[in-house]
Each structure stands twice: as C-alpha cells, then as structure tokens.
Amino acid sequence: MMAGANPVLRTRKNVSGLGQPGDDLDWYAKAVTELQTRPLADPTSWRYLAAVHGYPGHSNDPLGQPGDVFPASADQNRFWDQCQHQSWFFLPWHRGYLAFFEEIVAAAVVKLGGPAGWALPYWNYSDPNSQNARSLPPAFLSQANPDGTANPLWLPNRMMQSTSDQISAGDVDLGALLHSPFAGAANGGDHGFGGPDTTFNHFGGVNGRLEDKPHNLVHDAVGGLMGDPDTAALDPVFWLHHANIDRLWEVWNERDPSFLNPTTATWLTGTKFELHDSNGAVVRFDASQMQVPATVRHGYQYDDVSDPIPPTPAISATVAGLALMVKSAQNAVLVGASQPAVALAGPSTSVRVTFHQAERKRAVTRLAGARSVRAFLNLENVTGAGQHGSFDVYIDAPPAVSADRQRLPLLAGQLSTFGVHKASQLTSPHGGSGITSVLEITPLIEQLHRERNWDGAHLDVTFVKKDTPRATTGTNLHIGRVSVYYA
C-alpha cells in the first residue's frame, strides 16, 4: 500500500499482482458473469453499462439477440452514448463512469458471497519493471478457467491473444505526465494534458495528451471490441485500462505542484452528467465532484501513484520551461501545411508540408531569442470506416536539403485511429469531421536545424502502419491536412 494510504478506502491494485482465488481479479470475473446474465434494459447489466459508453445499434451489436428488450427511447437518448472524448471532460466523466461501475460490481460481488469493499484492478502497461506489462494480463488470455468453465475475461476477436502479443513501448510512453496545463485549445497549439476546452463532447475534435497516448493507442493495440468506442466497454479489459488512465491523472496531479485541474466554473460545474448507481437510481454529477478519488462516491485510492518519471535536471528544466511558456502563452500560428486529403494506404505514406516563410521566419526569430516558441504537428480531421490500428509518424528534412540520407527520420509520435469511425459518421455531433491528433515536435525541429541543415522550407512527414498480429478492417482512411503550428 502506498505511503499514507487510508486502509478504510477501497484500494485499486495493479493486476500484475493478482490472479489468485478470492482476490479482486477472481471476484471481478465472477461478477462479470453475473452482470452478463442481467437483461439489457437493466441499468446494472453488462450490456447497458457498455452502452453508456457507446452503442453501435442493434444490427451491429455483437451480443444482440432477436428477443432483446430495450430501454425506452427516451432513456437510451438520456443515458447511452454519453462518454466524453476529445474534451477536457474526458478524465472527470470516465472517473465517474468507473466509480459507478465499481459500485455495481462490488454489489454483485457481495451478492455472490464475496467480501465487501471490492475494488477495480488496473492494468499498468507502462511498468518498466514488469517484463510482460505490455501483454494482456494472463487472466484475459485463457479461453477456459482451470476447472474447464468458460472464462468471461477472454474474447476471441482481440488482436492480442498471447503473451507474445505486446503493445509497443512507444505506445505506452508517459510523456504526457511532463506537460501542463490541463486544458488545451483546438487552435493548432498545445492540446492540454486533459484535453481541449469544450462543452459536452461525444467524439470529434482534438485529442488531449493523455487521451492520445497511451489511452487511444492501447485501444488500437488490443483491437476487437476494444478498437471501437461503441463496443469497447463490452471487453472486460476496458475497465482495467481506464482504471490505469484514471490513476495516471492522479499521478499527474501529484507529481508537480503546478499541475492543476481547471478552476473555471465551466469545467467544475458547467456541465452535468447522469449515471445509475447499484440500485438503478439516477445520480447527477459534475467535474467538481471528480477531482479527489477519496471523495468520489464510496471513495477509493490506488496502491501506487508514485512518479514513474524520476526527476532529473533535464526533466526539471523541461517542466520549468513549460510552466514559463504557459504563463506567457502565445496564439498558435499556422506556419506550414500539406495539400488536403492525404490518403493513408499501404504500409507507408509520405506527404510534404510546405512552410509559409514569412510566418516561419518570425517564429524562428523568437525561437532563436527567448526560445519560447513551440512547434506542433497537427494531423487534422482524420476520417475513415472500420478499425485501422495505429501508425508511427516520422519527420525529416527533404533529401535535397539533408545530404546525409543515412540518417533515420525522426520519430515524432504515433497516430491512433481509435474513435475515427464514429467521428466520421455524418450523423455525429461534428458532422463527420473526424478526429485531430497533435504531436509536439519542438525538439525535433531544433534537431533538424542543428543536425540536418534544414532550411525550413519543407518538411517530409511519413506514416508507417504499425504491425499487428491480426488484420484490421478499416477502409478509406484519410487525413484532412497535415499542418505545423508554432506557438
């Protein structure tokens, strides 16, 4: 238990230390089976709880049955398809969602004869001290239990089916924890640790840093039901994944005194959400009630919220520099863009970004002086159908500029396509405009100038499809535009 932990509170534990009879993971499996027996219209049933996050329609429901009895249309409109993404409500909404789920599962555990105070485990796939941290926990990999009964934690259509199927280390990098502020903006610049300032937002727009990585990339890597927000919560590992994302929010809050949640009324109390408790009663909540885990519903804590990025002089300087930039924030300025409608087809796709020289030179002048200018690569309005997995994104100076072509291109980050299908539908709240991902490339731009004689006229951006053990099902994947903003 972490130092200073309250033994009265429920403690969410790392799944890597679980898997014995009678522990929280064992009771989770039993409770999943119990919740799956409940009818769809029951707000405490497995399928209803998943539909709160997203529902694909009965014709596309992987668990749909001809005799399904649905909640009233008014209830579906009120309680289903409510998850917050590409929004500064991403973290507080999911914290509430997890807390009510935990309450419902805990009640099922007691009903089945288990102990009171059950807590939801978390999957720490970024743990550098665990050899198999980036594999699915073993309990999710076996089709049958030791006694021969069906294992409710196993699913047949995941892309990860054995311990040899591992998430790439870069996909679970925790660089987001180094960045402040919490709230970002959808103007091409800093997208924020917790996401851009929005109203209620159910898919579409700009990803926040933590949502982009590792959240979205883990969804892509697991695939199957997890690869689509309309079915993701049907996968039992979804809840352990989100428990870890929730834990990382707590880590962020704890690791630096300047890393603060928003204090504006629009975030704290401006938007209300509704979920059902373990008795099926409707409960309203807002972000102000989701800031401290110990006071969220029944209260909970994590067994480990230690800083996974030990402070070093370089990291301390980075954090201090970012804090200075936040205090003297500048409007983001478009300095370069590609031609529109970039089709991502085949294993690799390259596109050239052409810079607007007047704007770029003004920004470079500032960068060479106070070094307060930051560069952001925007992958705008990504659209497509189905599941596409993820891509590594590289940048480089054009061949005519950089004579040494033996150098490898610079890895800028990853592009996740989680949620792109949903955000591409014309009936979506954003009219099918897709999702935008933002990668900060400030140090890479400096490196291109320093090492590759980059003249700032053009930038080559390459998208490399990540290898997956099983085929994805996506079609017509496009990026509306690749752009670079300085801020």
Q: So what's the pLDDT on residue 363? A: 77
Q: So what's the pLDDT on residue 338? A: 98
pLDDT digits (tens, 9 = 90+) for 214-226: 999 999 999 999 9
User: Which pLDDT band holds residue 313 (cuts at 50, 70, 90)?
Assistant: low
Q: So what's the pLDDT on residue 428? A: 77
pLDDT digits (tens, 9 = 90+) for 402-447: 556 567 899 999 999 999 999 999 887 778 999 999 999 999 998 9
Over residues 346-357, the mean pLDDT reads 95
Evaluate if residue 335 carries a pLDDT over 50: yes
3-state secondary structure string across the chain: CCCCCCCCCEEECEHHHCCCCCCHHHHHHHHHHHHHCCCCCCCCCHHHHHHHHCCCCHHHCCCCCCCCCCCCHHHHHHHCCCCCECCCCHHHHHHHHHHHHHHHHHHHHHHCCCCCCCCCCECCCCCCCCCCCCCCCHHHCCCECCCCCECCCCCCCCCCCCCCCCCCHHHHCCHHHHCCCCEECCCCCCCCCCEECCCCCECCEECCHHHHHHHHHHHHHHCHHHHCCCCHHHCCHHHHHHHHHHHHHHHHHHHCCCCCCCCCHHHHCCCCEEEECCCCCEEEECHHHHCCHHHCCCCEEECCCCCCCCCCHHHHHHHHHHHHHHHCCCCCEEEEECCCCEECCCCEEEEEEEECHHHHHHHHHHHHHCCCCCEEEEEEEEEEECCCCEEEEEEECCCCCCCCCCCCCEEEEEEECCCHHHHCCCCCCCCCCCEEEEEECHHHHHHHHHHHCCCCCEEEEEEEECCCCCCCCCEEEEEEEEEEEEC
User: Which pLDDT band holds residue 321 (cuts at 50, 70, 90)?
Assistant: very low
In the numeric block, the tokens 């091409």 are attached to 188
pLDDT digits (tens, 9 = 90+) for 109-156: 999 999 999 999 999 999 988 889 999 999 999 999 888 999 999 999
Q: So what's the pLDDT on residue 406? A: 64
Percent of residues, the chain, with pLDDT higher than 90: 80
Alpha-carbon Rg for the chain, nearest whole angstrom, is 23
User: Which pLDDT band holds residue 372 (cuts at 50, 70, 90)?
Assistant: low
> For residue 18, how many C-alpha atoms fall within 13 Å in the half-sphere facing its CB?
24
Q: Lowest-pLDDT range, 181-195, 226-240, 273-287, 392-406?
A: 392-406
Q: So what's the pLDDT on residue 365? A: 79
Q: So what's the pLDDT on residue 362? A: 82
Over residues 304-327, the mean pLDDT reads 61
User: Which pLDDT band holds residue 310 (cuts at 50, 70, 90)?
Assistant: confident
Q: Of 123, 225, 231, 122, nearest to 167 (Cα)?
A: 123
In the numeric block, the tokens 């089945």 are attached to 112
User: Which pLDDT band holds residue 61 (cuts at 50, 70, 90)?
Assistant: very high
Evaluate if residue 323 carries a pLDDT over 60: no
Average pLDDT, the chain: 91
Q: So what's the pLDDT on residue 131? A: 87
Evaluate if residue 314 carries a pLDDT over 60: no
Check residues 361 and 48 and name the one with the higher pLDDT: 48
CB distance 88 to 197 below 8 Å? yes
Spell out the domains of the chain, with CATH numbers in brackets.
Answer: 10-302 (1.10.1280.10), 330-486 (2.60.120)
Evaluate if residue 373 carries a pLDDT over 90: no
pLDDT digits (tens, 9 = 90+) for 253-301: 999 999 999 999 999 999 999 999 999 999 999 999 999 999 999 999 9
Over residues 347-356, the mean pLDDT reads 96
Evaluate if residue 164 carries a pLDDT over 70: yes
Evaluate if residue 370 carries a pLDDT over 60: no
Percent of residues, the chain, with pLDDT higher than 70: 91
Over residues 60-89, the mean pLDDT reads 96
